[in-house]
Amino acid sequence: MAKRVILLIGTKKGTFIAESGEARQDWSLKGPFCDAWPINHVIGDATTGTIYAAGGNEWFGPSVWKSHDLGETWTRSGNGFNYAEGEEPVKSAWSLAKSHGRLHVGVEPAGLFVSGDDGENFEHVESLRAHPSRETWVPGAGGLILHSIVPHPDDPNELWVAISTAGVFHTADGGKTFDARNKGTRAGFMPEGMQYPETGQCVHCIVMAAGRPDRLYQQNHTGMYRCDDGGEQWVSIEEGLPSEFGFPAAAHPHDADTVYFIPLNGAIEGRYVPDGKAAVWRSRDAGSTWSALRNGLPQENAFFGVLRQAMATDNLERAGIYFGTNTGTLYGSRDEGDTWGMVAQHLPVIHSVETMVIDA
Amino acid sequence: MMRETSDTVCEVVLPDALLRLYPEAERRLAVAAADVGSLIDELDQRWPGMGACLRDSRPSVRKHISIMIDGERSALETKIAPGATVFVLTAVSGG
């Protein structure tokens, strides 16, 4: 059956949706949705066609928006995004993951919520903020945010989350307890001798390798990493890349050894693509070697960055790769990164890109 | 819930941005409430979820929401005089 390839784009001013057929050559664009609220993450459930968008505006607080008709109509819920009285309230919803019949939501200030009724009501997963390291969590430039949620595909009790700036945490008991999973990742902004703490790393993004739940890839404030044991021990894979700094990571949908990063010029050097020349970097061997993918991307006067949730792959046989810039341009590749084209431009700051492939 | 009598009812004016989220709500309505907190409770009863748009979990009136009574910005515990007009406003914000 023919497929519809749908790109879900979260921006500073609402949700946008781009669509194409399997050829992924011509794209339509619609939006902004969600009342043009700041939207941090948009995901789709291909089994139901439902789209979920997480965000929050300055007036009315955190919300998850939901559409059952590919964006034509939306509902919104902020029910239950409550911390204990006296604590700093939840400001915004930042990340989403749908798995095993539940919708998990990461928020700012960092915490995890879960919905068992498809995004109508949310319940705080209190154990994460009860972690002994909680008092040491500090905001990164984007705030104290829980930006990555990685569910185990088979085990509903297992889940990884990542917080800037606190690190990676893992639960194997359905959220009753969380353990830190940061060994081997560097906190390069700490003094010498203190750069490998148990927690406090500024993780920017974690993704899971295809068909291999024990393998995660991580983009950190200082370094790119891989683990093959669910995060018990990370190893550096940044050798061969132009910098140690970047935000997003994307795993190939079918090949556990293929991963994509977009290194920027550095944390204090401007945070744009090195030398003003855009490239996505791909490894076919789990991070041992890297190649720059530039064909079709701007190679002069490009001074954009790509934020932590703004790169994704589709799941077609020859995978599509997509990323959105903080200057509002969305690029796509229909050949695993070998060549690139522009999907949309002049959008607001792009916070996130995800894909959903459904039957036509 | 408070007994609705003429000596407990105030007039409430809701902002356009909130009405976009709750299109079935009225822009001007009469509500029986002795203070701002119970006013928000009453709004939430009529339109579930509206309370969380106006009050955070601290609990406080949300930082960028202004609830004005007699020209003064009010807090949850601010008393509402019978017959008062209560303006719910979205503060200058955004970017």
Task: Please give the average per-residue pLDDT across B43-55, as a whole number.
Answer: 97
Supply angle C-alpha A68, A72, A78, rounded to 5: 60
CATH number of the structural domain spanning residue B57 = 3.10.20.30
State the burial class of residue A185 (Cβ atoms within 10 Å of its Cβ: 0-12, 13-18, 19+). Answer: buried
Among B16, B45, B47, B58, pick the best mutation site for testing chain A contact (most A Cβ within 10 A): B58
Predicted pLDDT at A7: 98
pLDDT band at A37 (very low <50, low <70, confident <90, very high): very high
How many Cβ pairs within 8 Å bridge chains A and B? Answer: 54
Task: Quote the percentage of chain B above a pLDDT of 70.
Answer: 89
Q: How far apart are CA A64 and CA A71, in angstroms?
A: 14
Residue B1: pLDDT above 50? no
Contacts of B60 in chain A (CB under 8 A): 89
Q: Please report the sign of the dihedral spanned by the C-alpha atoms of residue B34, residue B38, residue B39, residue B45.
A: negative
Q: Is residue B95 part of a domain?
A: no
Contacts of B90 in chain A (CB under 8 A): 59
Contacts of A59 in chain B (CB under 8 A): 17, 53, 62, 64-65, 90-91, 93
State the burial class of residue A25 (Cβ atoms within 10 Å of its Cβ: 0-12, 13-18, 19+). Answer: exposed
Predicted pLDDT at B95: 63
Task: Please give the average per-residue pLDDT across A65-78, as a whole number.
Answer: 98
> What is the per-residue pLDDT across A270-326, written as a single tens digit (0 to 9) for each?
999 999 999 999 999 999 999 999 999 999 999 999 999 999 999 999 999 999 999
Task: Please give the average per-residue pLDDT across B58-76, as a whole number.
Answer: 95
In DSSP terms, B68 is beta-bridged to: B73, B87
| Cis peptide bond upstream of A165, omega within 30 | yes
ipTM above 0.90, yes or no: no
> What is the per-residue pLDDT across A97-113, written as a single tens digit (0 to 9) for each?
999 999 999 999 999 99
Contacts of B59 in chain A (CB under 8 A): 85
Q: How far apart are CA B23 and CA B20, in angstroms?
A: 5
Closest CA to A277 of A295, A263, A298: A298
Of B20, B52, B54, which is closest to A79 when you measure between CB atoms? B52
Instruction: Please indicate whether, in this complex, the C-beta atoms of A59 and B65 are within 8 angstroms of each other.
Output: yes
CA distances for A44 relative to A5, A60, A70, A226, B26, angstroms: 11, 24, 9, 26, 34
Q: Which has the minimum average pLDDT: A41-55, A211-225, A345-359, B1-15?
A: B1-15
Predicted pLDDT at B7: 59
In DSSP terms, A224 is beta-bridged to: A219
Instruction: Please indicate whether, in this complex, the C-beta atoms of A61 and B52 are within 8 angstroms of each other.
Output: yes
Could you tell me if B61 lies within 8 Å of chain A, comparing CB atoms?
no
Instruction: Please indicate whether, in this complex, the C-beta atoms of A61 and B90 are within 8 angstroms of each other.
Output: no
Task: Please give the average per-residue pLDDT across B29-48, as a whole number.
Answer: 96
State the burial class of residue B72 (Cβ atoms within 10 Å of its Cβ: 0-12, 13-18, 19+). Answer: exposed
Q: Which domain holds residue B65?
A: 9-90
Task: Please give the average per-residue pLDDT across A102-125, as a whole number.
Answer: 98
Closest CA to A43 of A77, A92, A94, A79: A94
For β-strands A179-180 and A203-209, DSSP reports them as: unpaired
Q: How far is CA A127 from the centre of its chain?
A: 22
Q: How far apart are CA A66 and CA A76, in angstroms?
A: 6
Task: Please give the average per-residue pLDDT across A2-13, as a whole number.
Answer: 98
Task: Please give the average per-residue pLDDT across A172-187, as a whole number.
Answer: 98
Task: Please give the average per-residue pLDDT across B41-58, as a whole number.
Answer: 97
Assign 3-state DSSP to chain B and report helix, strand, coil percentages, each to 5: 25, 30, 50
Q: What are phi and psi of B54, to 5 degrees?
A: -110, -25
Instruction: Please indicate whether, in this complex, the C-beta atoms of A35 and B65 are within 8 angstroms of each other.
Output: no
Nearest CA in chain A to B66: A59
Supply angle C-alpha A216, A218, A222, rounded to 5: 155
Predicted pLDDT at B3: 46
Could you tell me if A35 lies within 8 Å of chain B, comparing CB atoms?
yes
Number of domains in chain B: 1
Instruction: Tell me the whole-structure pTM to 2 decimals.
Output: 0.96
Closest CA to A327 of A314, A313, A309, A344: A344
CA distances for A26 relative to A19, A216, A232, angstroms: 8, 33, 43
Residue A189: pLDDT above 80? yes
Distance from CA of A291 to the nearest CA of B (A): 38
Number of domains in chain A: 1
Q: Is residue B2 part of a domain?
A: no
> What is the per-residue pLDDT across A200-251, written as a single tens digit (0 to 9) for each?
999 999 999 999 999 999 999 999 999 999 999 999 999 999 999 999 999 9
Mean pLDDT, all residues of chain A? 97
Of B48, B56, B91, which is closest to A61 when you measure between CB atoms? B56
Q: Which domain holds residue A123?
A: 3-359
Task: Give me the half-sphere count of Cα atoms (radius 13 Å) on the Cβ side of residue B65.
Answer: 28
Among A33, A35, A59, A349, pick the best mutation site for testing chain B contact (most B Cβ within 10 A): A59
CATH number of the structural domain spanning residue A113 = 2.130.10.10
CB A88 within 8 A of CB A144: no
Predicted pLDDT at B5: 52
pLDDT band at B2 (very low <50, low <70, confident <90, very high): very low
